[in-house]
Homo-oligomer: A and B are copies of this chain.
Amino acid sequence: MAASKDPRPCSIADALALVGEKYSLLVLREVCLGNGRFDQLVRNIGAPRDILATRLRRLVDAGILTKRPYSERPQRFEYRPTQAGLELEPVLWTLKEWGDRHLRADSGTPMVLEHHCGNEFVPVVTCRACGEEARHQELTAHPQVPGWTVGGPAAA
C-alpha cells in the first residue's frame, strides 16, 4: 500500500528523476550533437568537472549513454547516446522550440536544425492516431491509479 503522502505516480516524474538534474539534458544535447568527450562536455556545458562525472555515471547506468574508448594507449573515452538516449531527443527539440520562441524572439536562435526534407526543422507534436497537431484543450487526462484525480480543464 502506498503511504498516502506519496506524490502522484507519474512517468514524467520518473523520467525527470533520471534526467532532470541540472546539466543532464545538456549532456544529452552535446552527446547528440556528437561532442561526447569529457573536456568538450565541460567546456560546452559549463558544468563543474566533478558534477559532470557523476552525471555521466548516472546516465550510463540508466542506459541513456554508453562510454566507449575511441583510443587505447592513451586511453580516451567518448560518450554516445544509446537508443533510449536518442529517443529522448524529441524532448530537447521541443524545449529548443519553446526557448527559441519565448526567450529568443529578438536575438534569434543560436542553432538551426535542418531536416532532410531540405527545410528548417521546426518540431510539431502530433497525435499518433489521427496525425493532428496536439492542443491542450483537445486532450483529456485519465488517471489509471485509484485515488488520483485531476481537476477541470486548466485553460489560461
Name the contact of A46 in the complex, choosing from B6, B26, B96, B124 (C-beta under 8 A): B6
Interface class of chain A by DSSP: mixed
Chain A 103-156 interface residues, beta-carbon cutoff 8 Å to B: 103-104, 108-132, 134, 136, 138-145, 148, 150-156
Whether B115 pairs with A129 at a CB distance below 8 angstroms is yes
The 5 tightest CB contacts between A and B, nearest first, are A34-B151, A11-B99, A7-B46, A119-B129, A15-B99
With A124-B126, A127-B121, A130-B119 as contacts: A15 and B95 at CB distance below 8 Å: yes
With A81-B154, A114-B140, A156-B80 as contacts: A125 and B14 at CB distance below 8 Å: no
Q: Total interface residues on A, using CB and 8 Å?
A: 100
A residues in contact (CB < 8 Å) with B: 5-16, 18, 20-22, 25-26, 29-36, 40, 43-46, 66, 80-104, 108-132, 134, 136, 138-145, 148, 150-156
Whether B111 pairs with A80 at a CB distance below 8 angstroms is no
Whether B115 pairs with A134 at a CB distance below 8 angstroms is yes
Whether A66 pairs with B156 at a CB distance below 8 angstroms is yes
Complex CA distance for A20 and B92, rounded to whole angstroms? 12
Complex CA distance for A103 and B117, rounded to whole angstroms? 33
Residues of B within 8 A of A34 (CB): 150-154
Residues of B within 8 A of A93 (CB): 125, 134
25 A-B residue pairings within 8 Å (CB atoms)? A6-B46, A7-B46, A8-B45, A9-B110, A11-B95, A11-B111, A12-B26, A15-B103, A16-B95, A33-B151, A34-B151, A40-B151, A86-B156, A88-B98, A91-B94, A93-B134, A108-B144, A111-B143, A115-B127, A115-B129, A115-B134, A117-B127, A119-B130, A122-B128, A126-B126
